[in-house]
Amino acid sequence: MPEDHRPRRGPYPGVGFTKQVQDVNLGPLYDTLSGEITASLTGRLLGVARTSGMIRGVHLSCLASGKDDDYALSFSAAVKINEVAALATQPIIAHVSGEASQAKTTYSEAADTGITEMELNYAANEFSPGDIISWDFELTRTASPTTEMANIGIVVELEPNI
């Protein structure tokens, strides 16, 4: 391999710098619900904190937003740290009357309709090593919408305290 293509070339502030970065680097937490979703689910485990930090973002996506032009059809996520709500406002994906069932996300860049973005509860979004991070999937629907919501995903972004 040519010398100018070697990965991780210094200079670094110290010999153990790359290990220090690895020790505090926190990847996001993920969970998915496959297939049609017809009921709320509680206590879904996202992970256990290995260091201290905070939740800095929560995003939802779905492959099918469902269809019910007569009644409310939506889902939201309540993210918790040791069973304490970490969000002031839950992210929500809702069917918009007249739309076909479609893929939607709460990422603001997508500019989807029927979306409520999350807001953090800054008094309760910090975690310590060993804390349990979980979420509740909350579905709002009638007995039988025209098309069920399906294939849900959640991403919880973490930021370490350094």
Taking alpha carbons only, the member of 78, 113, 107, 97 closest to residue 146 is: 97
What is the pairing mode between strands 115-116 and 92-94? antiparallel
**Are 101 and 59 within 8 A, CB to CB?**
no
Whole-prediction pTM: 0.84
- For all residues of the chain together, what is the average pLDDT? 89
- Interval 98-120 mean pLDDT: 92
Contact indicator for 118, 106 with CB cutoff of 8 Å: yes
Closest CA to 73 of 87, 92, 58, 88: 92
Q: Which two tokens stand for residue 116?
A: 């409520």
Q: Which pLDDT value is given to residue 144? A: 85
Tokens representing 19? 């290990």
Judged against a pLDDT cut of 70, whether residue 4 lies above it is answered with: no
Identify which of 67, 70, 110 has the alpha carbon closest to the alpha carbon of residue 91: 110
Measured CA to CA, the distance from residue 27 to residue 46 in angstroms comes to: 12
Q: 98 CB contacts (<8 Å, ≥6 apart)?
A: 69
pLDDT digits (tens, 9 = 90+) for 54-93: 999 999 999 999 999 888 999 999 999 999 999 999 999 9
Return d(Cα 11, Cα 39) in angstroms, integer.
54
Contacts of 16 by beta carbon, 8 Å cutoff, 6+ apart: none
Please compute the mean of the pLDDT values over residues 91-101 and round it to a whole number. Answer: 94
Domains and CATH numbers, the chain: 28-160 (2.60.120)
Q: How far apart are CA 158 and CA 162, in angstroms?
A: 12
pLDDT in tens, 121-158: 999 999 999 999 999 999 999 878 999 999 999 999 99
